[in-house]
Amino acid sequence: MNRKQRVLNYVNEACASFKPQDIEKGMGITTREVAEALDSIRSNISKDLNQLTRDGELKKIEGRPVRFISIEKARHKPLTKHVSSYKEKEQASVGVAQEVLDFSYNKTQDIFNTIIGSNGSIKNAVDQAKAAVLYPPKGLNTLITGPTGSGKSFFAHAMFRFAQSKELIDSDRELAVFNCADYATNPQLLMSYLFGYAQGAFTGAANAKEGLIQQADGGMLFLDEVHRLPPEGQEMVFSFMDTGTYSRLGETGKNRTANVRIVCATTEDPKSTFLDTFMRRIPINIHLPSFKERPVTEQLDLVKLLTGLEANRIQRRITLNEEVVKGLIASVGYGNVGQLKSSIQLVCARGFMNQLNKDEISLTVKDLPENIKDHLVGLSSNRSEQTDLSKYVEAQMTINPNEPFYKMAVDSYELPYNIYDIIGDKAALLEAEGLDQDSINQYISTDINVHLKSFYRNHGFSFQTESKLAEVVNKEVIQFAHQIVGEVEEALGGSFKQNFIYAMSLHISSLLSKISSGQERIINKRIREMAMTYSTEYVVAEDVKNKIATYFDVTIPDNEVYYLTVLLVSLKEELSSGRVGIVIATHGNSTASSMARVAEELLDTNGVAAIDMPLDMSPKVVYERIKKAVIDVNEGSGVLLLVDMGSLATFETALQKETGIHIRSIDMVSTAIVLEAVRKASLVDADIELLYESLTKFSGYTKELPGHNSERKPSSRKPPILLAVCASGEGTAQKLKDIIEKVLVESNDSGIKVMTCSVADLETKISEWQKKYTIIASTGIVDPKIQAPFIPLERFIEDKPEQLLKKIISLTIKESMGTLPNKNNAQAVIYSYVEENFAYINPKKIVPILWTFVNECGKLRVQNSDQYAFHINLAFHMAGLIERRLQNEQLNLEKEEQDDMKDHPLYPKLKRLVKTFEDKTQLTIPSEEYRYIFYFITKEQGHMEDIDTLLMD
C-alpha cells in the first residue's frame, strides 16, 4: 500500500465518527494530524492530501488550519444546509425549534407510534423490531430487508430511538453506522475500521486506533448494504456475535469485549447472498413493503409527512391540489419512498422558485415535471388505482410548517449546490498550492464545466433539454438567460456552448435566492484577479449584472461582476468537431430501422438512429422518442432529421426549441437519401448546413437540378473546378482563389482549377462552365444553388480551409469513381432490400411485379432522366405498402386531399396500373395509398404541393 492510499485510509477512518453537525461546524483532519499519525514528513502528506482532493477522494475545508474530510461525509451534509440562511432570516417571526429539524418527539414515548403504517402494513415489522430490542439481556441481532427506498435505514434509526426510550441505551449515544459497500473489496481495511488496529499493525500505524465496535459499545451498530460484506467480513462479524469479544488488527493474545446490538439491512435475498453460518446468528428478519404494497391511506400520509419536511425547510405553508397528489403517488416506482421524497423535493423547489415572495406555496399541475405529468395521464387508464385514490384524496391538501414529526438527522438526498461554492473552493485550493494566475484561470474554467456536467448527470439533466432545468429554476430566469445569450455572443464576437442557458440560469437563480435570504458574499481575491485579466468579458459581465438588476428589480452587489466574468470565460465555445447526427423517422413498423440497417451495413458505420412509427402510435409518443434520439446522436454539430411525411415533417421547430440543438429536417426520405446523408456526414467537415444543402439538391444518382438539366456525363470526363464568388468577381473572390490555390499546391491537387465570378454574372458563367467542367464546390458571399457543397464565406475564413477542401475533394473523387444506376444494379438493389428487410415478402415473386409496376409508373412522368433512381425509390415504398396490407394497416388521408388528386388527369391512368398490381399481388390497395404513389410520380414536375402539407396531425 503506497503512502497516498494510507493517507486516504487514515482520513476516511478518522472521519467515520463525524456527525453532520460536526461537518457543519467545520471539523476535519489537518495535515499535521495525518503526518503525526503516519509518522511521515508534513510536506509529503500535504502533497498527497491536495492530490486526493483533486482526484475527488477528499473534500478540503478552508480555514486556519486547512482541514480535510472524506468525500462520503461531504456528500451527506444535512438537507437543511441549502436554505439555512433563508430560515435564519425568518426565525424570529416563526420560531423554529431545533427539535423540529432533528427529532421533534418526546424521547420517552414509543417512537414506532409516530411511524406511518405501524398499525397497518408494517405492524408485524414493528412488533418484530420491539421484540428484537427488548429481548434480554442485550436484544437480538436483526436483519431488515426490503426494496430500494422502502425505509430500511429509517427503520433502523427508529429501533435505536426505541431502545433509548426504554432506557436500554443511554440518551446521549448516537447510532453507529457502517456502509459495507465502502470496503467490500478490502477485508483488511474493513477489519481495521470495524475493530480498530494496534500500534505498528501496519506501516503508518504510529498510534493505536479504536474501531467502530468499541465506539458502539453499549449502543447499536447499523450495518447498511450488508450484502456487500465479503465472506471474510461475514466471518469476522459473526465471530463477534458469538462471543462478544474481538481483537484489534495487529493484536495477539488480547481479547476485548463490547456490548453491541447489531442491525443489518439489505435489498437482496438473504438466502442467496449470505453464508448459512451468518444467517443462523440473525434470528429476527424484518421485511418492509414497497410503496405500492402499502394501502392508499398510508401513501397519502407519506406524501403529507414528506411535504411537511419541505414546509419546515422553507417555513411556508404548502398546499397541493388533488391532481398533484395523484401525480406524485402514481409516479412512484422502483425508488419507493425514497423516490417519492425526491419527487416532492423537486416539486416543492419548483413551486418555491415560482412563488418566491408569497407566504404560501400552492402546488398545481404546472409545477409537476413532465415524467410525473405522464404518470398522472396514465393513471386514467388504471381504473382500480384511480378509484382507490379518488376515495381518499381531498380537493386540496394543506401542510403547515412546524407540525411534529420524526426525522432522521442525516439524509443522502441533497438539493442542488450553487456554482459560487465551486468557484471559490477551487480558487482557494489552487492558490494554496502556489499556482500562478494563468493556471488558476485555466483550472477554474475547466472545473466549472466538469461540475456542471456532473450535476446534470447525477440529477438526470442533459445539456440538450431544459425540461428538467425548469423543475428547479424559475422559468422567468431561463427566459432571461435566453434573452441575453445573443447579446453576449454579439458583444464578445463568438458563440457559447449549449450549457450557457443552464449554467447562467442556475447562477442567476442562486444569486437571487441569496439576495432574497439576505446573504452576503466576500469576494475571493483570486476570482477578482482572474476576472480583471479578461477586460472584454469584464465589461460584458458588468452589463449583464445591470440587466439582471433591472429585469428582476433587485440590487446586485458590485462584486457579482467578477463571478459573472469567470462564468463567461468558462463557457466560451470552441468550434465543435463532432459529426452531424442522423435520425430517421418514418411511418410503419420497421421502415426506418430497415433504412438505417442498410446504411450501416453498406457503409460500415454506426450511430444512425431509427424511429419506427406504427400507425397506431400517437404523435406525442413518437415525438418524445425522436427527441431522445436527437439528444443521443448529437455530438455538437447538429442533427439531420430524415422523415417521410405527415406530422413527422412538422417536428423540426419544436425539437430545436426544446433541445437547443441545431436541427435540419428533410422529408420524403428514401434509402438513397439515407445512404447519401450517412456517406457525406463525415465528408463535409461535419457542417450541418453544407450537408443539408447538398441533400436538398440530391434527387438520385443521375438527376440534374431544375434549371441545370443538361445531360450529365460521368464526372470523370470533365475537369473539376472550384468556384469563388463575390460582388465584383475580383476582390474577395480573388483572395479566396489565392487561398484555395495555395492549398491545392500543398496537397498536390494541381488538376483542380479555381474560377472567380461576380454575383451579376453567376447564372451565365455557371451555365457555361457546367458544359466543360464539374463544379465540385463553391464559396463566397452567395450560394450559387448548384449541385455541389457551398461553403459560406465566414466559415471558409474561420475554419481551416485546407481540411475543408480536402474533404470535399475526397468526396468528389469517390463520386467520380462510382457507377451510375442501370437496370441490372437497380433490380439487384431492390431485391436485396426486400430480402433483408421484409419478413413476409418473397423477393423472388414480388420483385418482378414491383419492377413492372414502377416501370409503368415511370412512363407517366414527364421527366425521366433519373428513371432507375425513381424505380428504386418507388419500389421501396411499394414494398412497405405490401407489408402494411399484409398486416392490415393503412395510412390515413383527408377526403378533400383525395378529391384533389382525383381531379388530376394522370389519376385514371394510375388507377388502372394499381388495379393491375392488385390483381397480381391479390391485395386490395386503399385509395388513401394512391396519394403517396401519385406523389412519387408528380413530385418533380411541380403539379402538386410538397408532401409535408399532408396528414398534418
Q: Which CATH class is domain 419-463+486-494+507-571?
A: mainly alpha
Task: Please give the span between the terminal C-alpha atoms of the chain, in angstroms, as a whole number.
Answer: 66
Would you state the pLDDT for residue 364? 92
Q: Is pLDDT at 933 greater than 60 in this prediction?
A: yes
Task: Look up residue 381 and give its DSSP letter.
Answer: T
Would you state the pLDDT for residue 286? 94
- Indicate the helix (H) or strand (E) that contains 242: helix 231-243
What is the DSSP annotation of 855-885?
HHHHTT-S--TTHHHHHHHHHHHHHHHHHHH
Set of cell numbers at residue 347 = 416539486
Set of cell numbers at residue 877 = 415504398
Considering 130-139, 512-521, 717-726, the range whose residues carry the highest mean pLDDT is 130-139
Provide mean pLDDT across the span 214-239: 84
Q: Using pLDDT thresholds of 50, 70 and 90, give the confidence band for residue 267.
A: confident
| pLDDT tens-digit map of 540-571 | 999 999 999 998 888 888 888 887 887 787 66
What is the C-alpha to C-alpha distance for residues 694 and 305, in angstroms, rounded to an integer? 60
pLDDT over 70 for what percent of the chain?
A: 67
- Look at strands 284-287 and 176-179 and give their pairing: unpaired
Set of cell numbers at residue 543 = 452589463
Q: Which residues contact 593 (CB under 8 A, 6 or more apart)?
A: 610, 612
Please say whether the beta carbons of 882 and 839 come within 8 A. no
The alpha carbon of 573 is separated from its chain's Cα centroid by a whole number of angstroms, namely: 20
Please say whether the beta carbons of 667 and 949 come within 8 A. no
Would you state the pLDDT for residue 462? 39
* Topology annotation, domain 581-696: Rossmann fold (3.40.50)
Would you state the pLDDT for residue 184? 65
What is the C-alpha to C-alpha distance for residues 582 and 579, in angstroms, rounded to an integer? 9
Provide mean pLDDT across the span 786-798: 60
Query: In angstroms, what CA-CA distances link 387 with 129, 322, 383, 390?
Result: 34, 13, 6, 5
Provide mean pLDDT across the span 435-445: 60
Q: Would you say domain 122-287 falls under CATH 1.20.1280.50?
A: no
What is the C-alpha to C-alpha distance for residues 600 and 714, in angstroms, rounded to an integer? 27
| pLDDT tens-digit map of 855-899 | 888 888 766 555 676 787 778 778 878 877 776 766 655 555 556
| pLDDT tens-digit map of 634-650 | 877 788 999 887 667 77
Residue identified by cell 475580383 is 730
Which of residues 281 and 125 earns the better pLDDT score?
125
Provide mean pLDDT across the span 916-937: 82
Please say whether the beta carbons of 610 and 596 come within 8 A. yes
Which of residues 801 and 490 earns the better pLDDT score?
490
Set of cell numbers at residue 103 = 427529532
What is the C-alpha to C-alpha distance for residues 951 and 953, in angstroms, rounded to an integer? 6
Please say whether the beta carbons of 204 and 163 come within 8 A. no
Q: Is pLDDT at 281 greater than 80 in this prediction?
A: yes
156 closest CA partner among 79, 223, 212: 223
- Indicate the helix (H) or strand (E) that contains 808: helix 801-817
Would you state the pLDDT for residue 122? 93
Which of residues 353 and 80 earns the better pLDDT score?
353
Query: In angstroms, what CA-CA distances link 564 with 476, 479, 486, 532, 653?
Result: 19, 18, 16, 12, 31
**Which CATH code for domain 3-77?**
1.10.10.10
Set of cell numbers at residue 799 = 475554419
Set of cell numbers at residue 852 = 413492372
Q: Is pLDDT at 456 greater than 60 in this prediction?
A: no
Residue 613 bridge partners (DSSP): 587
Q: Is pLDDT at 735 greater than 90 in this prediction?
A: no
Q: How many CB atoms lie within 10 A of CB 581?
A: 26
Task: Look up residue 522 and give its DSSP letter.
Answer: P
Please say whether the beta carbons of 227 and 267 come within 8 A. yes
Which of residues 560 and 837 earns the better pLDDT score?
560
What three-state secondary structure class fits 635?
Answer: coil
What three-state secondary structure class fits 756?
Answer: strand
- Mean pLDDT (the chain, rounded): 73
Q: Is pLDDT at 252 greater than 50 in this prediction?
A: yes
Set of cell numbers at residue 212 = 467502530
Q: Comparing 158-167, 361-370, 813-822, which segment has the lowest mean pLDDT?
A: 813-822
Would you state the pLDDT for residue 220? 94
Q: Using pLDDT thresholds of 50, 70 and 90, give the confidence band for residue 243.
A: confident
Set of cell numbers at residue 392 = 381518499
Q: Compute, in degrees rounded to 10, the torsion defined by CA atoms 834, 835, 836, 841.
A: 70
Q: Is pLDDT at 115 greater than 70 in this prediction?
A: yes
599 closest CA partner among 680, 540, 687: 680
Residue 70 bridge partners (DSSP): 58
What is the C-alpha to C-alpha distance for residues 871 and 822, in angstroms, rounded to an integer? 10
Considering 145-159, 576-590, 837-851, the range whose residues carry the highest mean pLDDT is 145-159
What is the C-alpha to C-alpha distance for residues 196 and 10, in angstroms, rounded to an integer? 12
Would you state the pLDDT for residue 85? 33
Q: Is pLDDT at 913 greater than 60 in this prediction?
A: yes
Query: In angstroms, what CA-CA distances link 665 with 87, 650, 656, 885?
Result: 51, 9, 11, 28
Q: Compute, in degrees rounded to 10, the torsion defined by CA atoms 293, 296, 302, 304.
A: 170
Q: What burial class does residue 906 get, using C-beta atoms within 10 Å of its C-beta: 0-12 exposed, 13-18 middle, 19+ buried?
A: middle
- Size (the chain), residues: 953
What is the C-alpha to C-alpha distance for residues 567 and 544, in angstroms, rounded to an integer? 12
369 closest CA partner among 351, 352, 395: 351
What three-state secondary structure class fits 294?
Answer: coil
Would you state the pLDDT for residue 333? 73
Would you state the pLDDT for residue 80? 38
What is the C-alpha to C-alpha distance for residues 94 and 401, in angstroms, rounded to an integer? 9
**Which CATH code for domain 715-817?**
3.40.50
Asked whether the bond before 65 is cis by omega within 30 degrees of 0, the reply is: yes
Do 122-287 and 715-817 show the same overall fold?
Answer: yes
Would you state the pLDDT for residue 818? 42
What is the C-alpha to C-alpha distance for residues 14 and 70, in angstroms, rounded to an integer? 9
67 closest CA partner among 28, 13, 16: 28
Please say whether the beta carbons of 12 and 70 come within 8 A. yes
Q: Is pLDDT at 811 greater than 90 in this prediction?
A: no
Please say whether the beta carbons of 386 and 379 come within 8 A. yes
Provide mean pLDDT across the span 315-344: 85
What is the DSSP annotation of 647-702?
GGGG-HHHHHHHH---EEEE-S--HHHHHHHHHHHTTSTT-HHHHHHHHHT--SSS
Which of residues 436 and 47 earns the better pLDDT score?
47
Would you state the pLDDT for residue 731? 45
Domain positions in the chain are 3-77, 122-287, 296-399, 419-463+486-494+507-571, 581-696, 715-817, 823-949
What three-state secondary structure class fits 328?
Answer: helix
Q: Comparing 105-114, 403-412, 537-546, which segment has the lowest mean pLDDT?
A: 403-412
CA quadruple 677, 683, 684, 688: dihedral positive or negative? positive
pTM of the model as a whole: 0.40
Provide mean pLDDT across the span 57-76: 76
132 closest CA partner among 144, 124, 141: 141
Which of residues 171 and 97 earns the better pLDDT score?
171
556 closest CA partner among 619, 514, 503, 601: 514
What is the DSSP annotation of 85-99?
HHHHHHHHHH---HH
Set of cell numbers at residue 920 = 397480381
Burial 455-473 (b: 16+ CB within 10 A, else e): bbeebebbbbbbebbbbbb
Task: Look up residue 784 and give its DSSP letter.
Answer: -
Would you state the pLDDT for residue 774? 83
What is the C-alpha to C-alpha distance for residues 351 and 364, in angstroms, rounded to an integer? 8
| pLDDT tens-digit map of 80-89 | 333 333 333 3
Q: Is pLDDT at 416 greater than 50 in this prediction?
A: no
Would you state the pLDDT for residue 524? 60
Q: Is pLDDT at 74 greater than 90 in this prediction?
A: no
Set of cell numbers at residue 923 = 391485395
- Look at strands 256-257 and 245-246 and give their pairing: antiparallel
What is the C-alpha to C-alpha distance for residues 666 and 638, in angstroms, rounded to an integer? 14
What three-state secondary structure class fits 604?
Answer: coil
